[in-house]
A and B are shown apart, each in its own frame.
Chain A
Amino acid sequence: MRFLQQLFTIFMKDLRLEWRTREAMSAMLLFALLVLVIFNFAFNPDREMVLAIGPGILWVAFTFAGVLGLNRAFASEQENGCLSGVLLTPMDRGAIYLGKWLANLCFTLIAEAILLPFFVLFFNLSLTTEIPPLLLVCLLGTIGFTAVGTLLAAISANTRLREVMLPVLLFPIIVPVIIGAVQSTGLILNHETEGLTSFIRMLALYDVIFLVTSTLLFDFVLEE
């Protein structure tokens, strides 16, 4: 119970700070919208092309926007040494990680919820029955890359080239998530069901493994 209260305290603090500054959300949305617009103009795709490259474009926009948000995740903690202040309290380090992760997940999902209609609009798609499985894939894919991303953002926050370091560390590790999410999204947009369950299971397994290991490893990451 105490663990959950502490987790919630960290999460609410991040939510309040983001509501006040809107730093992460505005950067994520602006960047991802630009990605969608540029790809739309660059390819000017017809329906067949959209079904072939659309999922890739969507997840490029999501992950690149997500990295921008993750890069901001520990910025507020570095100001005035706030992370040290939190580490001085008797709270479980795992609760710090999970609180930060939950906030990152929340920001990224909100950004995705805003971006998805723009994707549909720009690429002339009509989605109805595809929406529930697509939302599930978005959720699982986002859980996966924010789980790893939050841990790596804590590592890269203390490096001089943190803006570069995070994607360099993150992208090789989230390749399975990106492949799974892009393939699943492709199958959903093409109304194919064969293989979809396997990809969704893979995403769910990845999420569980990396959430658990990241929670356990976070204490070591914070050591000075």
Chain B
Amino acid sequence: MNQAGGGATGYAVEARGVAKRFGRITALRSVDLDVPRGGVTALFGHNGAGKTTFLRIAAGLMRPTSGELKIAGLDAHKEAAAIRGHLGVVSHELFLYGDLSAMENLRFYGRLYQVDDLEARCEEVLTRVDLIHRANSRARHFSRGMAQRLAIARAFLHRPDILLLDEPYTGLDQRSVATLNELIEGFREAHHTVLLTTHDHHLGFTMATDIAILRRGEVIHHTPAAALSREEFDALYEESLQ
């Protein structure tokens, strides 16, 4: 559906001094982060570091208190509607209606995204996440892992070019993890961009082309994954927890 818009830079996400406060609580102090197009950027950090808040801001579900954010070269505040078509989001929340079947959930979102060949596309993504045999089952009757796979199918449905994945491996068994990794790999091969958060730092490190570590609402490290050995990354990750 989309090709990342005409930003002059090679970045899919550009954050400058993005801050978010909830009353007296500061969730993001000041995030500066450039997410290169066509790569997988893994955002690490301890609980409360601000990963989910940053992803919700990037997804347009939350406004930053201050700072500037560009997605696909577009201003996140002024061109929010245009940006939404570029994004596929997997979050802690599944965004699924329990009393609609898997197929009905996908049809509903597909119509809102104006997906071409909707029926065929729904079947295609359900097949990719190995849920085609449960297409007519209500989402309420799915296990957590199956529901997560359906949520992933929903995120891919409209052929986005930027994926925002917040703890996408939650509840997935080994087979589903492999399926998701294949989807991410295929996405990357198509020169699309992935920004993901995960607590599984080994899996995240394996998947990532870029690594960013958040601590107390600030990016304290941002480097290409190839520039670090596993041991160096582990040391950096441990440091971020202190």
Give the dominant DSSP class at B's interface: loop
Give the B interface residue count (CB, 8 A).
30
12 interchain pairs (CB within 8 A)?
Answer: A13-B97, A76-B97, A76-B99, A79-B97, A81-B92, A85-B93, A86-B112, A91-B112, A223-B63, A224-B61, A224-B62, A224-B63
* Interface check B15, CB cutoff 8 A: no
Q: Identify which of B56, B85, B104, B114 gathers the most chain A CB atoms within 10 Å of its CB.
A: B114
Instruction: Report the number of A-B residue pairs with Cβ-Cβ less than 8 Å.
Output: 72
With a 10 A CB-CB cut-off, give which of A17, A82, A90, A91 has the most chain B CB atoms. A90
Are A20 and B99 in contact, with the CB atoms below 8 A? yes
Confirm or deny: A5 has a beta carbon within 8 angstroms of a beta carbon on chain B.
yes
New contact pairs (17) apart from A17-B97, A76-B99, A80-B96, CB-CB < 8 Å: A17-B99, A81-B93, A82-B97, A84-B91, A85-B93, A85-B109, A85-B154, A86-B112, A87-B61, A88-B61, A88-B89, A89-B112, A89-B113, A90-B113, A90-B114, A91-B112, A224-B62
B233 within 8 A of A: no
**Chain B 158-173 interface residues, beta-carbon cutoff 8 Å to A:** none
* A88→B97 contact, CB < 8 A: no
B112-A84 in contact (CB<8A): no
Question: How many whole Å from A46's CB to the nearest CB in chain B?
Answer: 47
Of A2, A9, A21, the residue contacting B108 (CB under 8 A) is A9
Q: Which residues of A contact B56 (CB under 8 A)?
A: 224
Q: CA–CA, A77 to B63, complex, Å? A: 21
* B96-A82 in contact (CB<8A): yes
A157 shortest CB reach to chain B, Å: 15
CB <8 Å contact, B96 and A88: no
